[in-house]
Amino acid sequence: MLLSPDRVRVALPNEAAILPLAAVLVASLPQRAFVALMGDLGAGKTTFVKAIAAAAGIDPSEVVSPTFGLIHIHQRPPHATNDPGQRLVHADLYRLIGAADLDEIGWDDAIASPGWVFVEWAQRIASHLPAERLDIDIDIDSETGRTLSFTSYSCDYRLLMQRLKDRHA
């Protein structure tokens, strides 16, 4: 585990700029990743997860805001015989009152299997977030512009953070 968090800020001028960024994440995330997404309403958290899904080979039209279902699980089809495909858990915890509600939504089962977990409104369960994770704060700069602040709390994200620094320094 890193002694202090590693941070990178990435400015995106428009929504189209998220696609190459998503490709970097998909190529750099470890097989098991927990990504906490934070930002105001309309910041683009679900749009970001759609871009990740598209870059991973999951139909982005299947990725919708799980505000009412709370947790959606998507599976990328296998690309080879020994490839199980990538599992993508997309959770939106906006409607949760607190971490005590996690038991009622099947949280532990949803995140137990290997894969990537992307959680919108992760701050609502701050006390239950894994210590080793990637936080992404999305700030609204303008109608189309966003700044994403990546904070890594694990050496598992070292490759990703280096690639982000190389491309956006």
Give the model's pLDDT for residue 2.
43
Task: Report the pLDDT value the prediction gives residue 158, as an integer from 0 to 100.
Answer: 92
Q: How many domains does the chain have?
A: 1
- Separation CA 45–CA 120 (nearest Å): 6
Q: 6-50: per-residue pLDDT in tens?
A: 999 999 999 999 999 999 999 999 989 999 999 999 999 999 999
pLDDT in tens, 144-166: 999 999 999 999 999 999 999 99
Indicate the average pLDDT of the chain: 87
Q: What is the pLDDT of residue 1?
A: 40
pLDDT for position 68: 63
Domain limits for position 146: 6-76+84-168
Does residue 1 sit within a domain? no
Residue 125 lies in a domain: yes
Asked if residue 142 is part of any domain, the answer here is yes
Per-residue pLDDT for 78 more than 80?
no
Packing angle between helix 18-28 and helix 45-56, nearest 10 degrees?
60
User: Is residue 38 domain-resident?
Assistant: yes
Residue 30 lies in a domain: yes
pLDDT at 93 > cutoff 50: yes
Q: Examine the pLDDT at 120 and tell me if it is beyond 80.
A: yes
Q: Is residue 50 part of a domain?
A: yes
Give me the residue label for tokens 């915890």.
93
- pLDDT at residue 3 greater than cutoff 50: no
pLDDT on residue 66: 62
- pLDDT grade, residue 85 (50/70/90)? low
What pLDDT is stored for residue 4 in this prediction?
58
Q: What is the DSSP letter of 128?
A: G
Q: Which two tokens stand for residue 96?
A: 């949760």
Give domain status of residue 10, yes or no. yes
Length of the chain measured in residues: 169
Residues 6+ apart with CB under 8 A from 56: 26, 76, 86, 88, 116
For residue 17, tell me if it sits in a domain. yes
For residue 130, the domain's CATH number is: 3.40.50.300
